[in-house]
């Protein structure tokens, strides 16, 4: 045997050990070939010669006497193994002879493919003649991904069946965190857009305005839970606490549809308790008006006191009173300002009148966005959330009644500008003060 052949032979195989089933062990060869020139068994020399020829052919990019080498690296060169080598001692990629033929037929039956060779950058080499089976790395990666996905699905299914409460908590925080991060990125984009010259809130869509209005308070509310969960083993404490007190420690991203509606209605109930103080402040300001303005206000206020609502035209006729004295934001009294802030769910601490103007501006921009996009763009859940934001309880209301209320609101909002934002803030009194659903909510236990 030549020197290169011996080096190749010793590189591939190791000294035989009895009972070893490794593909690199010569135990089986030693049982067939007694190391003394056994007639008819020159397989080791044949193996080394073929292996050396294939290696050289691959390095030089040429062909060998045993077949054409399509594409292969030196690292992936396989050995020719004669038909007498046992199947159980071989890897599928090293099979040859009758064993390789059987394995290939089995694979063809499973995949429905016959004599197809995968060619490309990620495919392994096929050597014709004494052949070596080829495998595709893309198929392996797709199979691995499919197996991982199936394992995840089985894990989720077993967790759901065995520990439903834990699975529910896990699902809430997983989905909620994704939605929260999505809205957070959206808020960053909105802030960058508004920082550009010529960009205003009027050009934003309804969805973007809602994110811009809601996300800052949601970030403050969720911040303690997220910080606690980032600590080592903090998730074991933060997630159960947030799951037990979702209304106070979590935002709407972590609520399901039922919780979103329930918590919004609960917040509206607290806000509606301030509707009567606002109405009393409006009535008290009549004494500071002239007779003509007093007649307009008395007509509207008498209707509200008798259990009905004024028409849209009667409300629009009051715009001059909200452009100056006595109902402009700068002209109303402090107790009136506090009642308005609580009616709209805003804080009464610091910069109260500025906070009222900012809230009125966002509300006006939302109304304009809804008018541009059309009422058909609102889903039923969005419509209910829109009415709750505007001071109406939509529970047990028909879709037509909800649309009628929103249409009346938009008609008045179109006539409002920056000089009379105060009228927009008082629309929950003029349009929803005597709504039966609001009364049912206020006096419910």
Residue-wise pLDDT for 119-164, tens only, equals 444 444 443 444 444 445 455 556 666 666 676 677 667 766 767 7
Last residue within a domain, chosen from 255, 281, 308: 255
Mean pLDDT of 390-394: 94
- More confident site: 186 or 174: 186
Same domain, 78 and 224: no
Q: Enumerate residues 6+ apart whose C-beta is below 8 A from 32.
A: 38, 41, 43, 84
The answer to whether residues 420 and 272 touch, using CB atoms and an 8 Å cutoff, is: no
- Span 239-291, pLDDT tens digits: 788 888 888 888 989 998 888 989 999 999 999 999 999 999 999 998 888 88
146 is a domain residue? no
Last residue within a domain, chosen from 76, 105, 139: 139
The answer to whether residues 94 and 78 touch, using CB atoms and an 8 Å cutoff, is: yes
Of these ranges, 4-13, 45-54, 207-216, the one predicted with the greatest mean pLDDT is 207-216
Same domain, 35 and 99: yes
Same domain, 127 and 187: no
Instruction: State how far the Cα of 40 lies from the Cα of 50, in Å rounded to an integer.
Output: 17
Q: Is the pTM of this model over 0.85?
A: no
Tokens of 228: 């606690």
Concatenate the DSSP letters of all residues of 326-349 into one string: TTSTTTS-HHHHHHHHHHTT---S
The answer to whether residues 257 and 384 touch, using CB atoms and an 8 Å cutoff, is: no
Q: What is the CA angle 163-169-172, rounded to 5?
A: 135
The neighbouring-strand residues paired with 25 are: 14
Same domain, 285 and 422: yes
261 is a domain residue? no
Q: What is the CA angle 84-89-92, rounded to 5?
A: 95
Closest C-alpha among 115, 117, 94 to residue 47: 94
Same domain, 178 and 126: no
Alpha carbon distances (Å) from 418 to 183, 324, 348, 361? 29, 12, 22, 8
Burial of 152 (0-12, 13-18, 19+ CB in 10 A): exposed
The answer to whether residues 393 and 431 touch, using CB atoms and an 8 Å cutoff, is: no
Buried b (16+ CB within 10 A) or exposed e, 271-287: bbebbebbbebbeebee
CA 235 to chain centre: 20
155 is a domain residue? no
The neighbouring-strand residues paired with 69 are: 127
Same domain, 296 and 436: yes
- More confident site: 63 or 342: 342
263 is a domain residue? no
Same domain, 407 and 278: yes
265 is a domain residue? no
What pLDDT score was predicted for residue 293?
A: 84
Task: Name the residue range of residue 120's domain.
Answer: 3-139
Same domain, 276 and 424: yes
Same domain, 135 and 196: no
Whole-number mean pLDDT of the chain? 75
399 is a domain residue? yes
- Span 94-121, pLDDT tens digits: 444 444 555 456 556 555 544 443 444 4
Tokens of 304: 């509200």
153 is a domain residue? no
281 is a domain residue? yes
Output DSSP code: residue 127: B
Closest C-alpha among 200, 418, 400, 239 to residue 322: 418
Last residue within a domain, chosen from 232, 255, 278: 255
The answer to whether residues 310 and 430 touch, using CB atoms and an 8 Å cutoff, is: yes
Same domain, 250 and 279: no
Instruction: State how far the Cα of 27 lies from the Cα of 33, in Å rounded to an integer.
Output: 10
Same domain, 206 and 313: no
Same domain, 295 and 229: no
Instruction: State how far the Cα of 319 lies from the Cα of 340, in Å rounded to an integer.
Output: 18
Is the pLDDT at 13 greater than 50? The verdict is no
Of these ranges, 21-25, 107-111, 291-295, 381-385, the one predicted with the greatest mean pLDDT is 381-385
Query: Comparing 48-62, 225-239, 376-390, which segment has the lowest mean pLDDT?
Result: 48-62
Is the pLDDT at 19 greater than 90? The verdict is no
Count of domains observed in the chain: 3
Tokens of 97: 């002879």
């Amino acid at each position: 045997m030549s020197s290169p052949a011996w080096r190749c032979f010793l590189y591939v195989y190791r000294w035989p050990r009895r009972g070893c089933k490794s593909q690199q062990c010569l135990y089986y060869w030693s049982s067939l070939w007694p190391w003394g020139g056994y007639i008819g068994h020159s397989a080791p020399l044949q193996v080394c010669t073929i292996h050396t020829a294939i290696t050289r052919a691959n390095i030089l990019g040429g062909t060998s006497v045993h077949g054409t080498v399509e594409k292969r690296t030196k690292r992936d060169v396989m050995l020719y193994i004669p038909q007498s080598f046992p199947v159980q001692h071989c890897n599928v990629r090293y099979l040859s002879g009758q064993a390789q033929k059987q394995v290939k037929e089995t694979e063809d039956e499973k995949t429905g493919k016959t004599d197809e060779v995968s060619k490309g950058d990620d495919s392994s080499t096929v050597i014709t003649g004494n052949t070596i089976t080829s495998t595709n790395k893309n198929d392996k990666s797709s199979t691995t991904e499919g197996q991982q996905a199936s394992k995840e699905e089985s894990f989720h299914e077993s967790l759901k069946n065995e520990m439903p409460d834990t699975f529910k908590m896990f699902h809430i925080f997983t989905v909620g965190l994704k939605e929260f991060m999505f809205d957070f990125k959206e808020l960053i984009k909105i802030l960058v857009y508004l920082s550009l010259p010529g960009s205003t809130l009027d050009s934003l869509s309804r969805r973007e305005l809602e994110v811009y209005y809601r996300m800052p308070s949601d970030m403050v509310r969720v911040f303690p839970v997220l910080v606690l969960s980032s600590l080592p083993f903090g998730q074991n404490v933060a997630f159960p606490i947030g799951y037990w007190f979702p209304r106070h420690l979590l935002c709407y991203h972590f609520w399901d549809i039922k919780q979103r509606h329930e918590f919004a209605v609960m917040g509206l109930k607290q806000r509606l308790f301030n509707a009567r103080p606002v109405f009393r402040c409006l009535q008290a300001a009549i004494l500071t008006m002239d007779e003509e303005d007093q007649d307009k206000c008395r007509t509207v206020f008498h209707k509200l006191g008798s259990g009905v609502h004024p028409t849209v035209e009667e409300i629009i006729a009051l715009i001059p009173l909200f452009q100056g004295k006595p109902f402009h934001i700068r002209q109303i009294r402090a107790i009136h300002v506090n009642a308005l802030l609580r009616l709209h769910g805003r804080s009464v601490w610091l910069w109260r009148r500025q906070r009222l103007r900012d809230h009125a501006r966002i509300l006006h921009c939302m109304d304009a966005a809804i008018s541009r996009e059309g009422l058909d763009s609102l889903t039923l859940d969005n419509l209910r959330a829109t009415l709750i934001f505007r001071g109406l309880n939509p529970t047990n209301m028909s879709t037509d009644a909800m649309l009628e209320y929103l249409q009346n609101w938009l008609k008045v909002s179109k006539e409002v500008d920056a000089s009379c934002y105060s009228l927009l803030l008082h629309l929950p009194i003029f349009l929803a003060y005597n709504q039966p659903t609001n009364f049912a909510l206020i006096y419910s236990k």
